[in-house]
Structure 1
Amino acid sequence: MKIELLDATSASHSLVTLMKEYDEFYWAVAWAGVTDEGIELQKYAHKIKSVTFGLSFCHTDPSFVDNLQGVEGAYVITKSTGGTFHPKVYCFKSGDRAAAIVGSSNFTFGGLRKNSEASVYVEGAASSEFFQDLFDYTINSAKMGEGITKELARMYREKAEREAKKPHRQHDPMNEWKNQTPLEVGSMNWAEYVSRINKSKHHNIKKSLKLLRISQKWFSSEASFSDFSGEKRRAVAGTLPESQKKGSDLNRDWGWFGSMIGAGTFKNRINKNNKHLAKALDGIPNKGEISPNHYKDFVISFRKAFVGASRSGGVATASRLLAMKRPDVFVCICGPNIDEASALLGFKKQNLDLDTYWDEVIEVVRETAWYNADKPAGSEGKLWESRVAMLDAILYKES
C-alpha cells in the first residue's frame, strides 16, 4: 500500500490525475466551490457513484450545486447531522485498484490552492478493509442528502444569497428543505409578489396601505399603546364600531387585516386599556430589526392580559396587533385567510398557536425572495414597507 503526504497544491494535482485514471468516484466533502477541479469533475460526471457535498453555513458555492443538477450519484446534505458535515474524503476505484485522498482539503479554491492543508494519499487494493470502510462511509454520507434537482438548486441559491447578508449564517440552511418550501409564496420574486397583490379581489390596495400608514403614524407619535385614545386603540385592534368612525383617520374600514369585532374577551381588554396588552405592543420596536426574543417577550405580556378570563387571546388577535404596528414584519392570520396561509406557507392549521407563529409563519416569510428584495423606488416602496401584512391581499378568501 502506497502512502504519501500532500499539501493543498499537490492534493489538487493528484485529484485531477485520479479523476482521469479511475473509473468510479466515492467522495464525502464538506464544501465545494467553482474551481478548475470542479470543471474536471463535471467532465467525468459519468464516473460518479456516490459523491456528497455539505452545505453548512452556505459555504458551498450555489453555482457548483447548479452544475451538478441531475447528475446521478451526486448529492448534497439536506438533513441535519447535529454537528457540521465536515469530511474531506476523495476515494477512487477501478476494478481491484483503489486510491484515496483523506485530509483537510475541501473541494474549494482555498482547500486546493492557497490554504495550508495536509492530506494523506493512499493507494492499494480495493478489497482492503481500509478502502471498504471509505466506500461505506461515502455511501452512508449520501443517505443524509438529496439528489440535486432544479428545485433544490434554486432553493439553495436563494438561501445562500440571503444568508450572505446575515452576520451569522444558518448552520443547516437546507434542513428539511422540502417541508420548508412554501408552495407558492416562497417561490415569488418581488415582481410576482406585486402582481399577485394588485390582482387581489378583496383589498383596495391604496386604501389598505393608507390604513397601515395611519396606524404606524399613531405608534410613532405616542410613547405607549396605553396613551392612544379609546377609538384609536379599537381601530388598531380591529374592534372599532361604525358609530365611532369619526374623523378622516378613523373613518375607514378597520376590518381589513383581520376584524376582531367578535372577539369579546379581547375587545373587553382593549376597551379597558389593559396594561399587559400595552406592554406587549410597546416592546415591539417601531423601526429596525425584530428578533425572536422581541416576539417571545410580546407573547409573555400578551398572555398575562387574559389571566383568569374564560377565553384567552390567540394568534388572530395577537397577530392583528403586531401587523398594525409592524406591517413589514407581521401578518394577521385569522379565519378568512388561515386556509390559504396554511397551504401556501406550509404549516398545519391545528398546530398554529402563539408558540409556533414565529417559526411557522414569520421565519418562513423571512426566507422568501420577495421579502428580501431591496426596497424599490416610487409607489412600490410604500408596498414594500408593509409587504408582510399585505400578504392578506393574497391569502384572504371570502367565506
Structure 2
Amino acid sequence: MEAEFLTGDAVESALLKLLKTHQETHWAVAWGAMTAAAKALLSRPSRLRAVTFGLAFSQTDPDLVDKLIGLPGCRVVKRFPKGTYHPKVYIFRSGEVVEAIVGSANFTRGGLGQNHEASVRLSGTINDKVLADLLKFTAQSAALGVPVTRKLADDYRVSCQIAARKPKAPRDPLDDLPSVNLAGLNAPLTRMTWHQYVRAVHRADAPHPIDECLALLETVQTWLSTGASFRDLSIQRRKAIAGVIGQEDRSSAPELQQDWGWFGSMRGAGDFMNRVAQNDDALAMAFDVIPLRGEVRRADYDRFAELFVRAFANSDRTGGVATASRLLAMKRPDVFLCISNPNRTRASQQMAFAKTTLDLETYWDRVVEVIRASDWYDQPKPENRHGRLWECRAAMLDALFYSPD
C-alpha cells in the first residue's frame, strides 16, 4: 500500500481524478457543497455505492441535498446519537484496486482549497486491512443515514434559511476581547453562589429594606405589564421610574408612596428630569426597545444607548451611565444594575473596572457581562420565597454596593 500527503487544493484535484478512473464511490463525509467536484460526483450516478453526507448544524449545502433526491446510493445523516456525524472519508474501488483519501477536508469549498486542511491518500487493494476497514466504515456510516426525499430536502432548506439568520461566532474567537472586562469576568463576585448572594443581600438590608426594595421594582413591572409605552404612562409614573419624582408628586397617589430614590436618585440630573417631564420621544423609544420579557441582547442595549443619547441632542448636558442605567434597572431588574455615585466605588471594585472608564459604550462589557458570567446569576429560579429576589437579582446588587459615604 502506498501513501501520499495532500493539502490545499491537491485534495480536490485528487478527488476529480479518482472520480473519473474508478468504478465505485464509497464516501462518509460530514458536510458537502455544490462544488465542481460535486458535479463530477453526481454526473456518474451508477457508480455511487454508499455516499453519505451529514446535515449537522445545517452546514451541508441544500442545493447538494436537492441533487441527492432519489439517488439509491446516497443518504444523509440527520442526527447522531452521541455527538456529531463528522467523518471525512473518500474511497474509490475498481475490482480489487482501492484508493482512499482520509483527513480533515470536508466536501466543501473551504475543505477543498480555502481552508488549512491535511489529508492522506492511500492506494492499494482490498487485501490491505486499512482499506478494507475504511470500506466497512463507509457502509456503517450509510446505515446511520436515510434516503433523501423531496420533503426532507424542502424541510432541510428551511432549516438552513433559519440558521443563516442566526448570529455566528467570530472566526477569531478573540476578536471581541479587547473591550471585554476580562478581570471582571474573573472577579470574586462572579464566583459567589446563589446562597452566598442571598445571604449577602439580606445582610445589607439597611438602610434599604429588602422587601420594600423588591416591592418598588415589582410596582414598576406591574405598570409595564399592560404593554404600555413609556410615553403612555402618566407623568408621575414616568418620574417615579426615572428616579426624579418629588414629594409633591408622591403624595398624589397611594402607588407612589415609596422612596423612589432607591436604586439611584436622579433628581440632580436637570436635563434628564426635563426629558422625562417633556415626554421626549427618543427617551421613550429607548426605554421601549428593551424587551420586558425574554433575552436582552447586546443589540437591544446598543439601540437603547443610541436613542438615549439622541434624547439629549438639544440639551446642554447629555445623559450618562447613571440616568441610563436607572431606566434599564427599572425595566429589567433581572439584567441591569443602576450605577450611580453611592454605589460606583464598590461596584468598580467588585467588578474590576476603573470608575473613570465606565460610560454608555463600556457599560455592557463592564457590568452586564460580568453579571451574566456570575455563578449566582446563572441559577434556575428558586421555588421558595427567594424567587422574588431572583427576578430582580441584577438590580439588587445595589444592596451590596451601596455606600453613601
Instruction: Measure, in 2, the Cα distance between the counterparts of 1:173 and 1:304.
Output: 29
Give the length in aligned residue pairs. 245
Instruction: Measure, in 1, the Cα distance between the counterparts of 2:343 and 2:359.
Output: 15
Q: Which residue of 2 aligns with 1:152?
A: none
Identify if the C-alpha distance between structure 1 residues 182 and 320 changes in structure 2 by more than 3 Å, giving closer, same or farther. farther
Instruction: Measure, in 2, the Cα distance between the counterparts of 1:239 and 1:227.
Output: 18
**One-letter code aligned to 1:245:** R
Q: Which residue of 2 aligns with 1:190?
A: 194
Q: Is 1:293–2:299 an aligned residue pair?
A: yes
Calculate the TM-score normalised by the size of structure 2.
0.56
Q: Is the 8 A contact 1:315 1:357 kept in 2?
A: yes
Question: Tell me, which stretches of 5 or more residues in structure 2 are unaligned?
Answer: 5-102, 105-117, 122-166
Q: Is the 8 A contact 1:188 1:370 kept in 2?
A: yes
Q: Is 1:364–2:370 an aligned residue pair?
A: yes
Identify if the C-alpha distance between structure 1 residues 221 and 172 changes in structure 2 by more than 3 Å, giving closer, same or farther. same
Instruction: Measure, in 1, the Cα distance between the counterparts of 2:176 and 2:266.
Output: 37
Identical-residue share of aligned pairs (%)? 44
1:231 to partner: Cα distance: 0.6
Calculate the TM-score normalised by the size of structure 1.
0.57
Q: Which residue of 2 aligns with 1:303?
A: 309
Deviations 1:283-332 (A, max 9, x none): 11110001011011111111111012111100000000010010001110
Q: Give 1:210's match in structure 2, choosing from 215, 225, 228.
A: 215
Q: What secondary structure sits across from 2:316 in the alignment?
A: coil
Q: Is the 8 A contact 1:188 1:369 kept in 2?
A: yes
1:183 to partner: Cα distance: 3.1
- Give 1:184-263 correspondences, 5 Å limit: 184-200=188-204, 201-246=206-251, 247-263=253-269
1:203 to partner: Cα distance: 2.1
Identify if the C-alpha distance between structure 1 residues 374 and 311 changes in structure 2 by more than 3 Å, giving closer, same or farther. same
Instruction: Measure, in 2, the Cα distance between the counterparts of 1:390 and 1:260.
Output: 18
**One-letter code aligned to 2:194:** W
Q: Which residue of 2 aligns with 1:314?
A: 320
Q: What secondary structure sits across from 1:379 in the alignment?
A: coil
1:180 to partner: Cα distance: 3.5
When the two chains are superposed, the root-mean-square deviation of aligned CA atoms in Å is 2.8
Q: Is the 8 A contact 2:185 2:373 kept in 1?
A: no
Deviations 1:117-147 (A, max 9, x none): 9799xxxxxxxxxxxxxxxxxxxxxxxxxxx
Instruction: Measure, in 2, the Cα distance between the counterparts of 1:366 and 1:173.
Output: 20
Q: Which residue of 2 aligns with 1:284?
A: 290
**One-letter code aligned to 1:294:** D
- Give 1:112-191 correspondences, 5 Å limit: 171=173, 179-191=183-195
Q: What secondary structure sits across from 1:394 in the alignment?
A: helix
Q: Is the 8 A contact 2:184 2:366 kept in 1?
A: no
Q: Give 2:395's match in structure 1, choosing from 377, 389, 395.
A: 389
Q: Which residue of 1 aligns with 2:277?
A: 271
**One-letter code aligned to 2:314:** G
Question: Tell me, which stretches of 5 or more residues in structure 1 are unaligned?
Answer: 6-102, 105-116, 121-166
Q: Which runs of 4+ in 1 moved over 2 A?
A: 117-120, 167-178, 180-184
Instruction: Measure, in 2, the Cα distance between the counterparts of 1:377 and 1:118.
Output: 54
